[in-house]
Structure 1
Amino acid sequence: MGKEGDRTDINLVPLEDSSSGDSSSDRPSRTDPYSTSTSTHTYNNLNNRASNYSYPQRPPGQVLHHQRYSYVDDTPGASPPGTPINGSGGSTPYGSLLPPRYASYGHTNEHSRSSSPFPPSQAPFQSQDTLRPLFPETSSTFFSKEWVKDGSIAQLHSRDDAEFWKGWKRKLFYLAPFLTGLSLALYWLYFALRITFIIAAQKARRTTFPLAWIFVAIEVSVAIPVMLQNFWTMFALKKRGRPKLRLIGNDVPTVDIFVTCCGEDDDLVLDTVRAACAQDYPQDKFRVIVLDDGKSAGLERATRDLADTYPNLYYKSRPKFPGVPHHFKAGNLNYGLDEVHTMPGGAGQFMAALDADMIPEAHWIRAVMPHLLVDPKMALACPPQLFYNTPPGDPLCQSLDFFVHVCEPIKDALGVAWCTGSGYIVRREALDEIGNFPLGSLAEDVATSTLMLGAGWKTAFVHEPLQFGTVPDDFGSHLKQRTRWAIGTVDTSLKLKFCLWGDKIKKMTFAQRASSFLYAFLSLFNILLVLSMFALPIVLIMGKPLVAYATIDQLKWLVRACFAALISNRLTECVLFIPAGYHTGQRGSRYQLWMSPYIALCLIRSFVLPKWLGGQTQAFKPTGSLKSTLNERDAQKRAPMWRRMWTIIVNYMGFFHIGYVYFTLIAVTMSSYQCFLKLTTRDIIICLVTHAFWPPLTFIIVCSSFWIPMTYAIDPPTVKDREELLERDPKTGIAHPNKKSKKIAFSGQSSWFEFELTFTTLYTTLILVASFFL
């Protein structure tokens, strides 16, 4: 075994013992009616394997081979490995896909007798990064002297996230559950003191303090989303048990890869298509099918030209009829699922999907597929969505790093992994059981994985960098994307009764039900969050104390409790954000604030208002007419500042953010002015602290967050042309993001945010010290 982070601790898992099948599985076998070869037994009964599958440990000096758990001694002096063990041969269901012009390139060996359009030197694999070291003739220290046979699964590491983070950072992250528990306890202690002292003040002064109660409600409203997000970290100590696996050889299942698109640039789609066609997977075992909902003549022509190079590439565009709902992406995917049954070879045993802009790595299928093969109840496995055009500083928090690196691994450990819409591979029989992709939802991916969990299937999150796409390159597209996600999540939860009861989710575990309910609640909570934040300046402008207490000692204890809660929260954030990056986490916290009005508005229009009052189920729609794009991230083509500001203020309702910021600052000024009319310095300080300047200066963080759309309009980030972010093979045209583009560059905005946090923390510390001298 190698050190943590090395890639030398290899275990090999057999796909199936060829001598027998497990008849105890509670799911029937899905036989391919188009397969006529008796030698494809390994995958005809793929889903009848024992449910208690385990990863057998290889004894020292031995390598486990497929398919009879036979061991070959590779110790010095032993016979060299290389004897074929039950190699399967024959044709595959996709054998008829190969046109006659490629017949001369058929490749046959003792392990696989299926035809391939590649010459013998290229047939097994194309990736030189992950699979070449598995061959014995290759001199490499990657696997030392170990090698494997066709049809096996190699364990490259005991953790699939070893590439993302390791060492002291991983050990420090184990403190996150304890710090989160401490932070939550101190928060509620602080709120308990606030409530207790308000009651005491009312009894002592025989009056009520309604504004103090409102301010407590505001603080709780702002804190609840953070608390609920952090709640999941309490399970960070639960091990996922998700190793880093690779599927080896040519004896592999068949896969239909759908590339869904609708109006995207042809060049963008073609980069995804080329990378999908160039998978290091036997070409006669997978198809790439472009599902074009935009009916682009240029894309159709380019795809058919590209099919001369990749004979397993197809173009499909479904018919749409006026007045007949087409159900967007879900309808497009279902069309593809039906269409493959009419194609040569029939439907594949698995289906995979890629968004139009998501460029897969060459080893994508071989990395995801093993997680489905080792467990017959695993319905879907999905890698993270990563991006290569995120602007410096990510001012709009468009990356999904916190969700990808913190939330999803914890959810996966609890058996609640979501389908995130691209890069996933799914069993056809699991889709058949739930009736294919559910229609009538803006979040068909979340709905699909939820229905699968409700039917008793499993889902997996494969924490490897296996695909890279693009974030929306303008403010309006970003709003539309995120509001669509929120509406889709809430809509799915409403239709499934928040996953609390019903036949469609009857097999869900408690953790799965709690997760679905929590994320729907967080989306709906945006409505209450907006109302509570709007109440803050109203309370301030009335000039009444926000903090009520009966004695000066009670005020001191409130300050100390506030300080303890703040410091514990800062420490928790530093540790909790480690996997995603500290600055990513801070951007996410501010994003929840400034984005909440847009999400709240769309939710109200979608689920509260009737149609005659403007209600409609859709994502954010800008007001007015946008005659041309702003090109805000192109230094040469971007529209002038006045036009960018007008568009964001008027069309994208930035006037709400401006109004809120100025209203709050006016309220703070008026409240502070009244405090300076006090007679003594001590009274002035107490008045300021108990009114607008109660630590940790919440109004500063909220106003700064609400001003983000305006800073974006005034000084938008510059992003390089997409071609400059890619490394393209001049011969094949295949492109992958370069190393630099996969990371988010630092920006001055991150420094400003950190300054604010440091300032408010130091201010709270100063008030703590002052409390000992009051």
Structure 2
Amino acid sequence: MVYLGLRIACVILAQKATDTTFAAAWVFIAVELAVAIPSLMHNGWTMWSLKSRHRPKMRLVGNDVPTVDVFVTCCGEDDEVVMDTVRGALDQDYPGDKFRVIVLDDAKSPGLQRDCALLSHTYPNLYYMARTKIPGQPHHFKAGNLNYGLEQSHHLPGGAGEYMAALDADMIPERDWLRALLPHAVQDPKMALVCPPQLFYNTPPSDPLAQSLDFFVHVIEPIKDAMGVAWCTGSGYVARREALEEIGNFPLGSLAEDVATSTLMLGKGWKTAYVHEPLQFGTVPEDYGSHLKQRTRWAIGTVDTSFKLNFCLWGEKVRQMTFAQRFSGFLYASLSLYTILLSISLFAIPVILIMGKPLVAYANDTQLRWLIRACFANTIVNRLCEFVLFIPAGYHTGQRGSRYQLWMSPYIALCIIRSFVLPKWLGGQTQAFKPTGSLSSALNERDPKLKKNMFRRLWAILFNYMAAFHFAFVYLTLVAATLVSYRCFFQESHRVKDILICLVTHAFWPPLTFIFICSSMWTPIGYAIDPPQMPDREELLVRDPQTKVAHPTPQSKKVAFGGQAAWFEFEYTFSTLYTCLIFVASFLF
């Protein structure tokens, strides 16, 4: 904030000294502020929560335990994937007469029904259900499927369980999953929801699309838990039936029923908890289009829920929320909406450079020196802050998350505009991201045998998946940086000092923000050219030959270090060293 304040003061002083308006410098300040806002908000939120950021690790022991209905929700996934989750759920270290596994199949797969029937001979606590969906009537997707299971479980032997748990079709739970979550609910009668992180076993090396969610599960969710506002993570959670009934079960009409559920519970005075332990492992989307659809659906669902709940700031549904809970609901919805501003502001840098305008305005050399020194201090403090903040998730995970916020912003912004701003006759829609055109099949980009050729991948991602926007930005920015550098060398004074000052104050102001933005925005194109390769899913699992129960291998639970991570580290290190060099030069020239 001090650095930005000094930048603003120097522009004002420069304008007074020259009687000129430095519009480009003001725009660049706005861009710097726009890029800094998410980290400033997150860092402030993090410091607020540091006082109590630990939830104890507990296990429920013995056989005198609560009854639980475990729902496995599925809708068209591969039967093998679903059955691995079902077997993992049945293989719990939990008394068999105290829990049931209920497969809620929204696709009515005959093969899945047959597999469940065969397995129920070994596990009598396994049930298969498939609701009737009448064409033309809304069925409310996953929320409707879960509500159907909640209703039908009352008709099973012994009635409904005291708790319900939910697993996504691909999420294989660890054997101590239930015993790890339930103690947090049992010891506190106001605890409505207990959630573990969503972890994955098929994340490719370097995680180029930031699919691992490591920053969310290892940094953001523990922070929110410390503030008493843990969100439902969508899979692997355990919920108290009493709390669900008080809010009318899972809310309908939302693309993010998990966020809406936990928010409504908090609004009724219930508590939610986040248990930071590796208790379930699933799969990330294996193609670019599915990844976009998943992430934009999450963003739209979060914003839609926030609109319906008045951003958690007022209303009967959030009446019993604390200030921290209200602020959290406002913060994360605002960051999704903020992608619109961020996407617009990105193009300011190449436009300013093409016009040949300086990014930094100052009245004299002394002001320039202090601007450089303040920029150095700002950069180093940010690097240290990032390092500390990202420690729980891993340093490289934090870098991937920062880049993800940039290249994903145009997609999220477009979907938000279509969903909440544009009327239908202007292209408005109420769904998540949809690719333009039609693809006859998935690109299979991570399958060494089935992947489409590079031209097909590039065409699909550039045009069907709209990454032409990213390509245009990178091309325009690099051309602009080249043009302004040419002007500095051939149209300015031939003195070395003047050339260096021209370069620094135009394209190469530390910490080389345009390079960081360009490399981030290049992600979809780089992914299309050289997508990561992954082995067959079965190679990532260890399967018991007798019970067929499978769990991920220790290696597959970790994100491998790859070439992209090495390049990003080099780029980050280079830009930091460059900033240090310019800082030293401010004392010499």
- TM-score (structure 1 length as normaliser): 0.75
SS of corresponding position for 1:245: coil
Q: 1:420 aligns to what?
A: 233
Q: 1:360 aligns to what?
A: 173
- Looking at structure 1, the residues matched to 236 and 382 of structure 2 have their Cα atoms a distance apart, in angstroms, of 35
- Looking at structure 2, the residues matched to 404 and 282 of structure 1 have their Cα atoms a distance apart, in angstroms, of 29
Q: Is the 8 A contact 2:407 2:520 kept in 1?
A: yes
Matches within 5 A, 1:611-622: 611-622=424-435
Q: 1:288 aligns to what?
A: 101
What amino acid does structure 1 have at the position aligned with 2:26? W
What amino acid does structure 1 have at the position aligned with 2:545? P
- Looking at structure 1, the residues matched to 520 and 57 of structure 2 have their Cα atoms a distance apart, in angstroms, of 39
- Looking at structure 2, the residues matched to 312 and 289 of structure 1 have their Cα atoms a distance apart, in angstroms, of 8
Matches within 5 A, 1:231-380: 231-240=44-53, 242-380=55-193
Deviant stretches of 4+, over 3 Å: none
SS of corresponding position for 1:605: helix
- Looking at structure 2, the residues matched to 263 and 232 of structure 1 have their Cα atoms a distance apart, in angstroms, of 39
Q: Is the 8 A contact 2:3 2:374 kept in 1?
A: yes
- Looking at structure 2, the residues matched to 614 and 747 of structure 1 have their Cα atoms a distance apart, in angstroms, of 40
SS of corresponding position for 2:560: coil
Q: CA deviation at 1:550?
A: 1.0
SS of corresponding position for 1:558: helix
What amino acid does structure 1 have at the position aligned with 2:245? D
Q: 1:101 aligns to what?
A: none
Q: 2:214 aligns to what?
A: 401
Matches within 5 A, 1:540-689: 540-676=353-489, 677-679=491-493, 680-689=495-504
- Looking at structure 2, the residues matched to 425 and 772 of structure 1 have their Cα atoms a distance apart, in angstroms, of 60
- Looking at structure 1, the residues matched to 470 and 57 of structure 2 have their Cα atoms a distance apart, in angstroms, of 45
Q: 2:588 aligns to what?
A: 773
Q: 2:319 aligns to what?
A: 506
- Looking at structure 1, the residues matched to 563 and 55 of structure 2 have their Cα atoms a distance apart, in angstroms, of 38
- Does residue 747 in structure 1 map to residue 542 in structure 2? no
Q: Is the 8 A contact 2:312 2:330 kept in 1?
A: yes
- Does residue 220 in structure 1 map to residue 47 in structure 2? no
Structure 2's unaligned 5+ residue stretches are none
- Kindly tell me: are residues 508 and 531 of structure 1, through their superposed partners in 2, closer, same or farther at Cα, counting changes over 3 Å? same
- Looking at structure 2, the residues matched to 641 and 494 of structure 1 have their Cα atoms a distance apart, in angstroms, of 42
Q: 2:553 aligns to what?
A: 738
- Does residue 205 in structure 1 map to residue 18 in structure 2? yes
Q: 1:45 aligns to what?
A: none
Q: CA deviation at 1:681?
A: 2.1
Q: CA deviation at 1:237?
A: 2.7
Matches within 5 A, 1:8-23: none
- Does residue 487 in structure 1 map to residue 333 in structure 2? no
- Does residue 699 in structure 1 map to residue 514 in structure 2? yes
Q: Is the 8 A contact 2:467 2:525 kept in 1?
A: yes
SS of corresponding position for 1:299: helix
- Looking at structure 1, the residues matched to 587 and 175 of structure 2 have their Cα atoms a distance apart, in angstroms, of 63
**Which has the greater radius of gyration?**
1
Q: Is the 8 A contact 2:184 2:194 kept in 1?
A: yes
Name the stretch that deviates more: 633-642 or 465-474: 633-642
- Looking at structure 1, the residues matched to 555 and 226 of structure 2 have their Cα atoms a distance apart, in angstroms, of 31
- Looking at structure 2, the residues matched to 441 and 306 of structure 1 have their Cα atoms a distance apart, in angstroms, of 34
Equivalent of 1:721, from 536, 541, 549? Answer: 536
Q: Is the 8 A contact 2:167 2:236 kept in 1?
A: yes
- Looking at structure 2, the residues matched to 618 and 235 of structure 1 have their Cα atoms a distance apart, in angstroms, of 35
SS of corresponding position for 1:379: strand
SS of corresponding position for 2:92: coil
Q: CA deviation at 1:239?
A: 2.1
Q: 2:579 aligns to what?
A: 764
Q: 2:344 aligns to what?
A: 531
Q: Is the 8 A contact 1:232 1:407 kept in 2?
A: no
- Looking at structure 1, the residues matched to 433 and 13 of structure 2 have their Cα atoms a distance apart, in angstroms, of 46
Equivalent of 1:469, from 275, 282, 293? Answer: 282
Q: 1:690 aligns to what?
A: 505
What amino acid does structure 1 have at the position aligned with 2:577? L
Matches within 5 A, 1:439-458: 439-458=252-271
What amino acid does structure 2 have at the position aligned with 1:760? S
Q: CA deviation at 1:508?
A: 0.3
Q: CA deviation at 1:398?
A: 0.3
Q: Is the 8 A contact 1:540 1:671 kept in 2?
A: yes
SS of corresponding position for 1:253: coil
Q: CA deviation at 1:292?
A: 0.7
Q: CA deviation at 1:669?
A: 1.4
Equivalent of 1:521, from 325, 331, 334? Answer: 334
What amino acid does structure 1 have at the position aligned with 2:572? L
- Kindly tell me: are residues 240 and 751 of structure 1, through their superposed partners in 2, closer, same or farther at Cα, counting changes over 3 Å? closer
Q: Is the 8 A contact 1:260 1:356 kept in 2?
A: yes
SS of corresponding position for 2:285: coil
- TM-score (structure 2 length as normaliser): 0.99
SS of corresponding position for 2:224: helix
What per-residue deviation string (whole Å, max 9, x for no partner) do you get for residues 540-580 of structure 1?
Answer: 11111111111110111000000000011111112221111
Q: CA deviation at 1:710?
A: 1.1
Q: CA deviation at 1:772?
A: 1.3
Q: Is the 8 A contact 1:361 1:467 kept in 2?
A: yes
What amino acid does structure 2 have at the position aligned with 1:731? Q
Q: 1:81 aligns to what?
A: none
Q: 1:41 aligns to what?
A: none
Q: CA deviation at 1:231?
A: 2.0
Q: 1:180 aligns to what?
A: none
Q: CA deviation at 1:463?
A: 1.0
SS of corresponding position for 2:167: strand
- Looking at structure 2, the residues matched to 328 and 646 of structure 1 have their Cα atoms a distance apart, in angstroms, of 32
SS of corresponding position for 1:471: coil
SS of corresponding position for 2:59: strand
Q: 1:60 aligns to what?
A: none
Q: CA deviation at 1:240?
A: 4.0
What per-residue deviation string (whole Å, max 9, x for no partner) do you get for residues 204-227 of structure 1?
Answer: 111211111001000000111111
Structure 1's unaligned 5+ residue stretches are 1-187
- Kindly tell me: are residues 241 and 552 of structure 1, through their superposed partners in 2, closer, same or farther at Cα, counting changes over 3 Å? closer
Q: Is the 8 A contact 1:257 1:287 kept in 2?
A: yes
Q: CA deviation at 1:233?
A: 2.0
What amino acid does structure 1 have at the position aligned with 2:55? R
Q: Is the 8 A contact 2:49 2:227 kept in 1?
A: no
Q: Is the 8 A contact 1:490 1:524 kept in 2?
A: yes
Q: Is the 8 A contact 1:536 1:664 kept in 2?
A: yes
Q: CA deviation at 1:496?
A: 0.3
Matches within 5 A, 1:132-147: none
What per-residue deviation string (whole Å, max 9, x for no partner) do you get for residues 20-41 of structure 1?
Answer: xxxxxxxxxxxxxxxxxxxxxx
Name the stretch that deviates more: 316-325 or 675-684: 675-684
State the aligned residue count: 587
The structure showing larger relative contact order (alpha-carbon pairs under 8 Å, at least 6 residues apart) is 2
- Looking at structure 2, the residues matched to 235 and 356 of structure 1 have their Cα atoms a distance apart, in angstroms, of 36
SS of corresponding position for 1:244: coil
Q: CA deviation at 1:650?
A: 1.2
